[in-house]
Amino acid sequence: MEVFTLHDAIPHDNNTVITVGTFDGVHKGHQFIIESMLTLKQKKKDARTVIVTFDPHPQTVIPRKDKPPITLLSDISERLQLLESYGIDMVVIIPFTKEFAQTSSDEFIRTYIHEKIGFSDIFIGYDHGFGKAREGGANTLHALSEELQFTVHPIEPYVIDHKTVSSTEIRKALSEGNLPEAFDMLGHPYFIEGIVKKGDQRGRTIGFPTANVKPAIPYKLFPRKGVYFVSTDINGRTVYGMANIGNRPTVEITDQISLEVHFFDVNEDLYDTQLVIWFLKYIREEQAFASLDHLKEQLHRDETICREIMNSLDNIEDES
């Protein structure tokens, strides 16, 4: 997959199937758009598929008054990895600024999409708005389509169990600790990619050393505070463990939410290692304990639960 920014010399090609959006999380609704683009590509000789996206996310630059402060399901690195895995040929990243936000929807399509990239077909989601104040939509595209010689492909809502799949609904599910619902809408477990940074090493004193994982962006969504069964990849092998998301009320009082992961049967130095933490099961709420000894007792119970899940997964893999 080729990746360009708006300021690069992007190869112009009118035989292009294109779409525009933030694609936060690259959920099943997004995947349906991608599948539709790939299906059309097969019918058109030598066509390419292009996704135009934005970094940073527009709502981190200009917050929307009708929505709470944004938290993101994926940073740009995670988004690119997911888009590549689904077979997109090219991604064009538009650096989003307050100045760019003043671009009208008409100018956006003419100057940036038609003249800069080129396209013959454009897919647009049912609720997607583009241009200044999100003024543009399917009607804007239809009005320009004859003049600029392209076809508009509106995409209807993607629905699972009578609920429209959206980044907002996934954020809600994760904030409630509802991993199965988030999984259904994402098509994969939720994950956080980050760097292991040095913490206070308090976990070592009670026999549960943890990796303090810092996400790459401050807007990354943390799921509901609590303990989770998780996995990651270390040196090419899948490793399981248990993670705590929260502000560690037993040991300190802080507003800072952290992600700390205790990996099972791992003795490696992970400082400054980049890891992807996959959230597989919500175990319990975060709690304040009367002492570190009480906390340690609970962690042993959490570990027992997580190892039972891990063993059941191993048995399934052995049987297959």
* CATH 3.40.50.620 is held by the domain 2-164: yes
The tokens for 251 are 């040991």
Domain positions in the chain: 2-164, 189-319
Return the CATH number of the domain spanning residue range 189-319: 2.40.30.30
Q: How far apart are CA 124 and CA 307, in angstroms?
A: 45
| Closest residue by Cα to residue 20 from 97, 85, 159, 117 | 117
For residue 258, report the phi and psi dihedrals to the nearest 5 degrees. Answer: -130, 160
One pLDDT digit (tens) per residue for the chain, 320 residues? 999 998 899 999 999 999 999 999 999 999 999 999 999 999 998 999 999 999 999 999 998 787 778 899 999 999 999 999 999 999 999 999 999 999 999 999 999 999 999 999 999 998 889 999 899 999 999 999 999 999 999 999 999 999 999 999 999 999 999 999 999 999 999 999 999 997 665 656 677 889 999 998 889 999 999 999 999 999 899 999 999 999 876 666 667 889 999 999 998 889 999 999 999 999 999 888 878 888 889 999 999 999 999 998 866 555 54
Contact 252, 165 (CB under 8 A): no
Phi, psi values for residue 214, rounded to 5°:
-105, 120
pLDDT of residue 320: 46
Q: What is the pTM of this model?
A: 0.90
Sequential DSSP letters for 85-117:
HTT-SEEEEEE--TTGGG--HHHIIIIIIIITT
Helix 28-43 / helix 179-186 crossing angle, nearest 10 deg: 10
Would you state the structure tokens that stand for residue 235, as one six-digit string?
A: 């040196």
